[in-house]
Structure formats: C-alpha cells, structure tokens
C-alpha cells in the first residue's frame, strides 16, 4: 500500500499514482466480485448464516452499503470543500437508519453497483492534489485527520476482506466465514 498516511490518519501523506490505480481497481472490483459469487444462486443461499455469530451474504452487502454511504459522503465532502470538519458517523450506527438488511439481495447489489460507479467517476477526475485533500473528523476522537487517499484505502481494504467473506460463504467454506464475521 501507500507509504505515509493510512486509515489511521497519521504521518505524512504521500500520494503515489500507482497506488491510486490499485485502489480504483479494488473499488471497481467489489460489486463485480459479489455479483460473480452470487450469480445463479437461490435466494435462500444469499440469506444463509452458518451460525448465530456469522453474517449472511445479504448481511455483508448491507454492511458494505452502509460503509459506502458513510465513507463515500466523507470523501465527497473532502473533494467539494476546503478541509471540512466532519462528524464521524459509524457505519454500524448508520445501518440502523436504513432498510438495507431487509432489502432483497439483487436490487441491493444493483444499488451498491450504481453508487460505486458514481464514486469512481468522481475519484477518477482527481489529480494528485485532490487525493491529498483532507478533513478533520470529530466525535469518536478529537480532531482525527483523514485524506481522500486514507479514506479510499480504508474502504478498499475493508471491502476486499468482506468480498472474500462473501465468496467463501457462497462457496460454503464456513471456517473462513467465521474468521471474517462481524
């Protein structure tokens, strides 16, 4: 990954073009990976939980949509405003304000895919200085600094992990699922 400022927001931010390409590729792959893993499966398989502590593929998708809402809004605010101060919102708190867990899987995936295309469209227009744009986040920690780059890094790595979880779940690999749950 990029040397310098990561998801924790510490250190000097060093924007590297090759890293940006990698991150854009990872973000574009998330909806496709979930779509490929779920293709031609019965709906019951998409809602199956191997045990009480594990998520179904639909639960993971709902979680990813909530993360995309929260983190995507923060990224867009950093792009549109000069170093805004933003209140941190937890995706786990945000999901309780949505109906994502109750939605049908395929329409929910379609919405996630559309949302991702819009985010990628915005990110692809940024020059290196755009990736270094930042914000101060309040609420959970005092004055935590993040950049577009650090937020995209977090989103891409988080989704990569959860896409692997969905792929394992839909292949029936319960041991991998339990390791990656919640």
Residue-wise pLDDT for 123-165, tens only, equals 999 999 999 999 999 976 667 899 999 999 999 999 999 999 9
Residue-wise pLDDT for 87-101, tens only, equals 999 999 999 999 999
Number of structural domains (the chain) is 1
Q: In angstroms, how far is CA 94 from the centroid of its own chain?
A: 13
Classified as helix, coil or strand, 7 is coil
Structure tokens that stand for 94 in this block: 């945000």
CATH code of the domain in which 117 resides = 1.20.120.450
**Pick the residue with more confidence: 138 or 180?**
138
Q: 61 lies in a domain?
A: yes
**In which element (H, E) is residue 181 found?**
none
Q: 64 lies in a domain?
A: yes
Confidence of residue 13 (pLDDT cuts 50, 70, 90): low
Q: 8 lies in a domain?
A: no
User: Residue 77's domain spans which residues?
Assistant: 23-38+45-180
What single DSSP character describes residue 4? Answer: B
How large is the C-alpha radius of gyration of the chain? 17
Q: 103 lies in a domain?
A: yes
Q: 167 lies in a domain?
A: yes
Q: 18 lies in a domain?
A: no
Q: 17 lies in a domain?
A: no
Q: 106 lies in a domain?
A: yes
Whether 62 contacts 99, CB under 8 Å: no
Where are any strands of DSSP class E within 6-158? 85-87, 134-138, 144-147
The pLDDT assigned to 7 comes to 42
What's the rounded Cα separation, in Å, for the pair 72 and 115? 9
């Amino acid at each position: 990954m990029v040397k310098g400022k990561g998801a924790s927001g510490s250190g000097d931010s060093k924007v590297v073009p090759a890293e940006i390409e990698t991150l854009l590729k990872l973000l574009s792959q998330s909806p496709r990976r979930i779509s490929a893993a779920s293709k031609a499966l019965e709906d019951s398989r998409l809602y199956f939980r191997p045990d009480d502590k594990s998520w179904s593929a639909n639960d993971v998708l709902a979680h990813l949509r909530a993360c995309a809402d929260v983190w995507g809004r923060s990224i867009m605010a950093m792009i549109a405003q000069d170093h805004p101060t933003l209140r941190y919102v937890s995706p786990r708190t945000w999901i309780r304000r949505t109906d994502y867990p109750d939605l049908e899987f395929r329409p929910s995936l379609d919405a996630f895919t559309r949302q991702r295309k819009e985010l990628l469209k915005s990110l692809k227009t940024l020059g290196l200085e755009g990736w270094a744009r930042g914000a101060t986040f309040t609420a959970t920690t005092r004055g935590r600094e993040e950049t577009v780059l650090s937020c995209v890094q977090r989103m891409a790595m988080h989704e990569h992990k959860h896409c692997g979880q969905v792929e394992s779940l839909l292949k029936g690999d319960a041991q991998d699922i339990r390791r990656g749950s919640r």
